[in-house]
Amino acid sequence: MLRNYLATALRNLARNKLYAAITVLGLSLGFAAALLIALFVRDEFSYDRFIPGHRDTYLVTLRMKTPTTAWSDASDTEVWTAPLLKAQFPEIQDAARLTKAYFPPLVQRGLVKIGEQQFMWADPNIFRVLPVPVLAGDLQTALDTPDGLVLTRAMARKYFGADAPLGATLLVDGHPMRVTAVIRDLPSNTHLIGDFFGSGLAAFSVLKQSEQINGVGDYSHNTWTYVRLKSGVSPAAIEQRLPDFLAQRMPIQPGLESTIGKVSQSLHLLPLADIHLWPSNQGAMKPGGDRQVIAAIALVGVLIVGIAAINFVTLMTARANRRAVEVGVRKAMGARRSDLIVQFLGEAMLYVLLSTVVAVALAELLLPPANGLLQRTMSFNYLGDPSLAGPIVGVALIVGLLAGIYPAFILSGFRPAAVLKGGRSAAGGSPWVRQGLVVVQFAVLVGLIIVTTTVARQTYFALNDSLRVDKSQVLLAFVSPCTDNFRNRVLALPGVKSAACASAFALNFTESIDALKVGDHSADIDGAGVDFGFFEVFGVKPLAGRLFQQTRSTDDLHADLSATTSIVLNESGARKLGFATPQAAIGQIAYWHGPVRMAHTNNPDEPTEIIGVVPDFSFSGPRAGIHPSFYYVGPKEASISIALAAKLDGRRIPETLAGIDRIWADVGDGNPMIKAFVDQLMLLRLIDSLIQGVVIAICAGLALFIACLGLFALSAYTAEQRTKEIGVRKAMGAGTGDILRLLVWQFTKPVLWANLIAWPIGWWVMDRWLSGFAYHVDLNPLTFVFAGTAAVLIAWVTVVGQAFLVARSKPVAALRYE
């Protein structure tokens, strides 16, 4: 019996090549997309699990709030956290730190000198806490000397052209460091970054300097602290004693609390494998994942498989009448309904099996470009990984079962008496069910178009309008420090319209929260040092008052520390200080407490005059929101004045860039200068959002293609079914246009119905997603109209070809058909 079923199935497949190909192609594409999405989801949950002993290893995180801020979580802690924890808690087997310089150190070999962004400074025992895979050398001792340096293989090849240049020397910021070990390049599925790990024992290392500059409790968080617990120790046993530890061993310095107010803080142990999906990105080495995004992408994968499965069901049931005679004969010969269900389910499984094989091949082919897009190194070892092969087969079987059961029931339900007399019978199954499935397919499609369009609009807004500054043709040249001399010489170049130095705070690379007090109103506000002309470079005009002017000495904090200096507020800052309008703030005196002020005056209570209020603007992107801020013309020190912002006229860009390079070569410290347009910087900052948008767009395109495949096949079959009717209509005088309208309208109806389902769901989903941004586009009704119209047009394009062929055929051919 099974041999008979198999022979029937295979020959039926071979005889109906077009429909079989459409079914297999649709299922294969759907499965392949779902496979790649599953690999991505699995990758997201696999972070840092490659590190041996990861279950006993934790990142120490900090939770904190001040009287004027909400609770926030950060990955970085004070530099003294690790040694103090190790001393206090015997349950901690080892504790180690990583830190990174704000400015990339210059790594040099011979004439090659490169600012390496991913240079980390580490405690000598870091690789006992985080034992990453080693290629050469001994990681246990590699950083025990101040000149110890560990490279990744990629860096070893970059500088030495070899995989294991042990003993070789590199200059790091002019200091010789010896290569003591080489590790494998860190995979993409780790929260860690690092091409270089320098020994924190080096006197010039950021780790050593932090220890010298920062005392315990100075609220300076710039170090990643890792602890490895002894085997069997529960983190809860330590966490419940951390509040006392903080209070006794790491209290906030009293002087600081008098400035910023009472600080509430707590330490927590975050499992290594949970770091990537931890909701907070504050202080993170690199942006983490987002469980909601993962869930959304996983849902899209399920929807794509659903669309492919719907294709399968609609095609099988629509063409069921071609098997009606066979069903009637088999029943007449004594086949039970269950025998036929087994037969047709088996055929469904055959299609699914074939599609799975094709899908696996497709996924293998598409994995490298997918890795490129997602910036991952995912692998697809389905033969060697039972945890992958098993689910693949399992899901294929489940989909085959679910998709095949309805056609099997329809086909096996044909009554022999009705089908054996001869003549054509109607398609199997309820036409309402088939229409309903097409409605569902197109509802998913319309929903995906709505999502894709909204994500694209929000991304464009994030890249352009959300900053609220004119960033076109604005170049950032990262030099430390940016001096008046450098600025003035660049300003003199023909292609430069305006230029000003900028601090890391002004560019939202970091923040410095100071306190301002106006009358009885006190508030924590971000303070940002700028240069004369900074606002003008970005086209920011004051809402009230004026901007900084070089001719006024009181506008320069550094010029006369004894005078009442000037500050400019942003809108949010003015509101936070209690001013009803921007104008109301002008001329008011604010008393400024803060580390920057204190560094230059030692007077924590200097009066400053509010000279202007500017609109809110930001370089952080729409998710972060715009903080209440004030601006001052600050000192051009290396750690503060980090970049020159230059507005170019856009006509002589290569010459202008070359001119800036020449000026830097002349006045600079001999180190390379990194240049980037603000557009490029924002692109990098928003790269994850961009990638998500591209992924969703690709999935939507794929879903569209699969749905159109099914619609094409269904329309071809429906047109064939209605051949006699069309022949009669034409004999009665219907023209080609009349027939075309008849056939096209049949497939327009479900698409129109699909909009009724997709629009409210799309609105609810996108409204929730957009509410996660501090600044976002509005949900435009035109987006929904566009999605619905696009779906209708796509359906028309898909079916009109078949419909036209049938509509133009001669009536006699149609009537003779019967």
Partner 1 sequence: MLRLDQISKTYRTTEVETSALSEVSIEVGAGEFVAVMGPSGCGKSTLLNIVGMLDSPTDGAYWFFGQDVAGYSEAKLNRLRRDNIGFVFQSFNLIDDLTVAENVEVALIYRSGSGGARKQKVADALERVGIAHRARHRPQQLSGGQQQRVAVARALVSAPKLILADEPTGNLDTANGEAVMGLLAGAADAGATVVMVTHSLAHAAAAHRTIRLLDGRVVSETLLGS
Nearest to partner 1 of 3, 654 (CB atom) = 3
- Written as six digits, the tokens of 633 are 């013309």
- Written as six digits, the tokens of 558 are 């550094």
Q: DSSP assignment, residue 556? A: B
In the complex, the smallest distance separating the C-beta of residue 329 from partner 1, rounded to whole angstroms, is: 5
Nearest to partner 1 of 7, 295 (CB atom) = 7
Nearest to partner 1 of 131, 413 (CB atom) = 413
In the complex, the smallest distance separating the C-beta of residue 322 from partner 1, rounded to whole angstroms, is: 9
Residues 6+ apart with CB under 8 A from 650: 472, 473
Contacts for 787-790 with beta carbons within 8 Å, 24 or more apart? 787/446, 787/447, 787/449, 787/450, 787/453, 787/755, 787/758, 787/762, 788/446, 788/751, 788/752, 788/755, 788/758, 788/759, 790/449
DSSP code string of 174-187: TEEEEEEEEEPPPP
420 is an interface residue for partner 1 by CB under 8 A: yes
Of 64-72, 416-424, 442-450, 555-563, the segment contacting partner 1 by CB under 8 A is 416-424
Nearest to partner 1 of 349, 682 (CB atom) = 349
- Written as six digits, the tokens of 97 are 């730190």
Nearest to partner 1 of 15, 286 (CB atom) = 15
Amino acid of residue 258: S
The count of residues interacting with partner 1 (CB under 8 A) is 26
Q: Phi, psi (5° rounding) for residue 233?
A: -85, 135
In the complex, the smallest distance separating the C-beta of residue 758 from partner 1, rounded to whole angstroms, is: 34
Of 133-141, 415-423, 600-608, 609-617, the segment contacting partner 1 by CB under 8 A is 415-423
Nearest to partner 1 of 261, 416 (CB atom) = 416
According to CB under 8 A, which residues from 312 to 331 bind partner 1? 325-326, 328-331
In the complex, the smallest distance separating the C-beta of residue 429 from partner 1, rounded to whole angstroms, is: 19
Of 276-284, 410-418, 708-716, 737-745, the segment contacting partner 1 by CB under 8 A is 410-418
Q: Phi, psi (5° rounding) for residue 632?
A: -145, 155
In the complex, the smallest distance separating the C-beta of residue 277 from partner 1, rounded to whole angstroms, is: 52
Q: DSSP assignment, residue 45? A: T
Nearest to partner 1 of 7, 667 (CB atom) = 7
According to CB under 8 A, which residues from 11 to 50 bind partner 1? 11-12, 15
8 is an interface residue for partner 1 by CB under 8 A: yes
Of 402-410, 419-427, 508-516, 546-554, the segment contacting partner 1 by CB under 8 A is 419-427
d(CA 12, CA 352): 15
424 is an interface residue for partner 1 by CB under 8 A: no
Nearest to partner 1 of 11, 286 (CB atom) = 11
In the complex, the smallest distance separating the C-beta of residue 810 from partner 1, rounded to whole angstroms, is: 26
In the numeric block, the tokens 């230029």 are attached to 499
| Distance set, CA 539 to CA 494, 534, 564 (Å) | 19, 9, 27
In the complex, the smallest distance separating the C-beta of residue 8 from partner 1, rounded to whole angstroms, is: 5
7 is an interface residue for partner 1 by CB under 8 A: yes
Exposure of 444 by Cβ count < 10 A (0-12 exposed, 13-18 middle, 19+ buried)?
A: buried
Nearest to partner 1 of 211, 326 (CB atom) = 326
Amino acid of residue 247: A
- Written as six digits, the tokens of 82 are 């690790």
In the complex, the smallest distance separating the C-beta of residue 20 from partner 1, rounded to whole angstroms, is: 13
Nearest to partner 1 of 280, 425 (CB atom) = 425
Whether 406 and 429 have beta carbons less than 8 Å apart is answered as yes
Neighbours of 670 (CB within 10 A): 9
- Written as six digits, the tokens of 519 are 């009358």
In the complex, the smallest distance separating the C-beta of residue 806 from partner 1, rounded to whole angstroms, is: 24
Nearest to partner 1 of 144, 818 (CB atom) = 818
Residue 158: half-sphere exposure toward Cβ, Cα within 13 Å: 16
Q: Which helix (H) or strand (E) holds 530?
A: strand 521-530
In the complex, the smallest distance separating the C-beta of residue 321 from partner 1, rounded to whole angstroms, is: 14
Count of residues in the chain: 818
Nearest to 280 by CA among 63, 524, 455: 63
d(CA 443, CA 445): 5
In the complex, the smallest distance separating the C-beta of residue 275 from partner 1, rounded to whole angstroms, is: 58
In the complex, the smallest distance separating the C-beta of residue 314 from partner 1, rounded to whole angstroms, is: 22
Residues 6+ apart with CB under 8 A from 403: 309, 312, 313, 348, 352
Nearest to partner 1 of 4, 117 (CB atom) = 4
Q: Which helix (H) or strand (E) holds 58?
A: strand 57-65
Whether 577 and 523 have beta carbons less than 8 Å apart is answered as yes
Nearest to partner 1 of 333, 383 (CB atom) = 333
d(CA 243, CA 225): 17
In the numeric block, the tokens 């078949």 are attached to 802
Nearest to partner 1 of 17, 421 (CB atom) = 421
Of 3-11, 170-178, 494-502, 541-549, the segment contacting partner 1 by CB under 8 A is 3-11
In the complex, the smallest distance separating the C-beta of residue 341 from partner 1, rounded to whole angstroms, is: 14
Whether 47 and 258 have beta carbons less than 8 Å apart is answered as no
422 is an interface residue for partner 1 by CB under 8 A: yes
- Written as six digits, the tokens of 287 are 């942006």
Amino acid of residue 673: M
417 is an interface residue for partner 1 by CB under 8 A: yes
In the complex, the smallest distance separating the C-beta of residue 13 from partner 1, rounded to whole angstroms, is: 9
d(CA 765, CA 769): 6
According to CB under 8 A, which residues from 325 to 364 bind partner 1? 325-326, 328-337, 339
Nearest to partner 1 of 99, 343 (CB atom) = 343
Q: How far apart are the first and last CA of the chain?
A: 34
In the complex, the smallest distance separating the C-beta of residue 335 from partner 1, rounded to whole angstroms, is: 5
In the complex, the smallest distance separating the C-beta of residue 19 from partner 1, rounded to whole angstroms, is: 14
Nearest to partner 1 of 1, 203 (CB atom) = 1
In the complex, the smallest distance separating the C-beta of residue 325 from partner 1, rounded to whole angstroms, is: 5
234 is an interface residue for partner 1 by CB under 8 A: no
Of 100-108, 110-118, 412-420, 517-525, the segment contacting partner 1 by CB under 8 A is 412-420
Nearest to partner 1 of 3, 684 (CB atom) = 3
Neighbours of 266 (CB within 10 A): 15
d(CA 621, CA 463): 8
Please select the residue that binds partner 1; options are 4, 264, 488, 780, rule is CB under 8 A: 4
d(CA 362, CA 355): 10
| Distance set, CA 772 to CA 410, 623, 625, 765, 775 (Å) | 46, 7, 10, 12, 9
In the complex, the smallest distance separating the C-beta of residue 320 from partner 1, rounded to whole angstroms, is: 15
Of 5-13, 276-284, 549-557, 756-764, the segment contacting partner 1 by CB under 8 A is 5-13
Nearest to partner 1 of 153, 337 (CB atom) = 337
Name the site residues for partner 1 (rule: CB under 8 A). Answer: 1, 4, 7-8, 11-12, 15, 325-326, 328-337, 339, 415-417, 420-422
